[in-house]
Amino acid sequence: MSAQQRRWGADALAAIDLGSNSFRLEIARLRQGRYESLAYWKEPIRLGAGLDAQNHLTEAAMQRAFDCLRRFGAELQGFAPERVRAVATQTLREARNRDAFLARAHGALGHPVEVIAGREEARLIYAGVSRLQPSSATQLVIDIGGRSTELILGHGAQPLRAESFAIGSVGLTLRCFADGKLTAEAFRQAQIVAAAELEEALTLFARGRCEPAWSEALGASGTVGALAQIAESAGLSKDGSINAAGLRWCMEACIRAGHVDQLQLPGLKDDRKKVVAGGLAILYTLLSLFDIERLKPAKGALRQGLVFDLAERLKLHEQQDSEDLREPTVLALQQRFGVDRAQAGRVRSLAQRLHRELDRKADIEHQLELGWAAALHEIGQAVSHHDHHRHSHYLITHLDAPGFSQDQLRRMGHLALGQRGGLRKLEAELRDESLLWQLLALRLALVKCHAREAIQEDRMAVRREGRRVTVRMVPGWAATHPQALYLLGEEAKAWSKLGLIDLQIQA
């Protein structure tokens, strides 16, 4: 056990939130269902302010991020990879150079960084709030981040509806308060911009219009926390709760100051000063639009949700008879797109068996994602049978799928795209050897299952020696399956053209 592991304990988990305003690292553990925070770091990186006019992250912004991640990485020395999860949110969803950023971020942190979709971010936020602040009531949870705002309607521990909107404290501040001036007109304009983005959610979340009706509203994360601290420090609230009158007082104080450099609100920390105006305008708009009389600060947030989610995944991986939380998502998608589940099941079972032979060192996530890609490989047929693999690729890549990161969906989309046809379209992606063996397993399974009827899996076996792969069929099989033998021959030719593996067929 390393020194860091001894420091935190073998059961410690680490969650890293690469937000648009701040980066956060929390080390925690769960004991008998109780959350124990062991350490917490927060650095105001303002990554969201580093997007240029073409939505590229500037080198200066990226360097601030990498410096912070190196410091976080030093705290994570000795942590097993499966006990760490790092996620990025709206800024990386928008950044056109995100792949380059993610590769360098992995090197700086020592662990991969996932980009999660807005609804997945909302789901994880609610997981953190509902577990740390349990309630039997129906709740509206609001999280105003640097470049996005998440709204979640939930009952108890169950999120019922979750949406993400591309407006946040950093983005709105840059748009309406870029010169630092805090004027009444700037606040009016900021509220108009916020309302234009958020009013489409009225029927989903507003009091008296949504179903089921919520009875209490909670605010998570930095913006609400900062404004709650101001309200309490100014004597506007005894418990940090926020109302419209308190927010109007804050706006009037900002306008009197005239400029962000002159702003002196009680309880406002320096790292929040530059973006408080945008967050204030968004929250005031939300309270007005959604008829929120009182917003209470929540105890949990995204990083705690990540810890709970990570713990559940580890538990499920240890209990082989348990179902991964992403399985219901896959099943719902199969039903939604009318997938032939019997065929998908045959392909999935065989592909995973072949994959275990081809890549004996594959981690559990790669084994699982191959199964999910196989389960969803034909969803494109809901659009058109012709070139359905291309439609499957598009749909999987652009899904809002609870439990999945955008990066994992993109990888599954690559598998769906590569399930048939030439391989040149994925030549760059197949430099990742783990993806190569996943795709080969899927394509071989599809050949075996081509007739769309029950199969005997043990009639196909693979043996790998380096990049040389031999596919063996039982004696006599070729004579009764000439079409499948032909397809195997075509498969060998396709891989030969790419030059990445030497595929030999023995039948």
Tokens (6 digits) for 32: 């008998």
Q: What is the mean predicted confidence (pLDDT) over 216-224? A: 92
The proportion of the chain whose per-residue pLDDT surpasses 90, expressed as a percent, equals: 86
Looking at residue 5, its pLDDT comes to 58
Q: What is the pLDDT of residues 115-145, one digit of tens each?
A: 999 999 999 999 999 999 999 999 999 999 9
Looking at residue 7, its pLDDT comes to 78
CA distance 392 to 377: 6
Predicted confidence band of residue 245 (pLDDT cuts 50, 70, 90): very high
Residues 475, 489, 485: CA angle, nearest 5 degrees: 40
Predicted confidence band of residue 6 (pLDDT cuts 50, 70, 90): low
DSSP H or E segment with residue 153 = strand 149-155
Q: How far is CA 334 from the centre of its chain?
A: 21
Question: What's the one-letter identity of residue 408?
Answer: Q
All residues at 6 or more sequence positions from 375 whose CB lies less than 8 Å from its CB, including other chains: 330, 334, 339, 344, 345, 348
Instruction: Tell me: pLDDT of 319 over 80.
Output: no
Of the candidates 367, 335, 332, 373, the residue with the CA atom closest to the CA atom of residue 353: 367
Q: What is the pLDDT of residues 147-183, one digit of tens each?
A: 999 999 999 999 999 999 999 999 999 999 999 999 9
Q: What is the mean predicted confidence (pLDDT) over 35-40? A: 96
Handedness of CA 151, 156, 158, 160 (dihedral sign): negative
DSSP code for 208: T
Q: Which of the pair, 207 or 380, is modelled with greater confidence?
A: 380
CA distance 230 to 224: 10
DSSP H or E segment with residue 263 = none
Tokens (6 digits) for 478: 């070729």
Residue 393 · residue 416 · CB < 8 Å: yes
Looking at residue 4, its pLDDT comes to 60
Instruction: Tell me: pLDDT of 1 over 90.
Output: no
Of the candidates 113, 117, 148, the residue with the CA atom closest to the CA atom of residue 406: 117
CA distance 386 to 252: 61
Instruction: Tell me: pLDDT of 2 over 60.
Output: no
Of the candidates 109, 84, 98, 117, the residue with the CA atom closest to the CA atom of residue 15: 84
Looking at residue 204, its pLDDT comes to 92
DSSP code for 20: S
Looking at residue 320, its pLDDT comes to 57
Tokens (6 digits) for 44: 């105001």
- Give the largest Cα separation in the chain, rounded: 88
Q: What is the pLDDT of residues 254-292, one digit of tens each?
A: 999 999 999 999 999 888 999 999 999 999 999 999 999
DSSP code for 506: E
Residue 292 · residue 60 · CB < 8 Å: no
Of the candidates 231, 233, 235, 226, the residue with the CA atom closest to the CA atom of residue 246: 231
Q: Which residues of 464-495 are buried (b: 16+ CB within 10 A; e: fewer)?
A: eeeeebebebeeeebeebeebbebbeebbebb
Tokens (6 digits) for 507: 């039948």
Q: What is the pLDDT of residues 70-98, one digit of tens each?
A: 999 999 998 999 999 999 999 999 999 99
Tokens (6 digits) for 295: 């917003």
Looking at residue 208, its pLDDT comes to 84
Predicted confidence band of residue 505 (pLDDT cuts 50, 70, 90): very high
Of the candidates 342, 371, 368, 357, the residue with the CA atom closest to the CA atom of residue 442: 371
CA distance 174 to 393: 35
Average pLDDT, the chain: 93
Looking at residue 255, its pLDDT comes to 97
Question: CA torsion angle for 286, 288, 294, 296 (degrees, to 10)?
Answer: 10
3-state secondary structure of 210: coil
DSSP H or E segment with residue 458 = none
CA distance 330 to 382: 15
Q: What is the pLDDT of residues 448-503, one digit of tens each?
A: 999 899 998 889 999 999 999 999 999 888 888 899 899 999 999 999 999 999 99
Predicted confidence band of residue 344 (pLDDT cuts 50, 70, 90): very high
CA distance 54 to 325: 37
CA distance 492 to 469: 10
The proportion of the chain whose per-residue pLDDT surpasses 70, expressed as a percent, equals: 98
All residues at 6 or more sequence positions from 406 whose CB lies less than 8 Å from its CB, including other chains: 93, 114, 115, 116, 117
Tokens (6 digits) for 8: 């935190």
Looking at residue 481, its pLDDT comes to 87
Residue 194 · residue 177 · CB < 8 Å: no
Instruction: Tell me: pLDDT of 321 over 60.
Output: no
| DSSP labels, 79-119 | --GGGEEEEE-HHHHH-TTHHHHHHHHHHHHSS-EEE--HH
Question: What are the beta bridge partners of residue 257?
Answer: none
Looking at residue 36, its pLDDT comes to 95
Q: Which residue carries 């992250």 as its tokens?
A: 57
3-state secondary structure of 353: helix
Instruction: Tell me: pLDDT of 23 over 90.
Output: yes
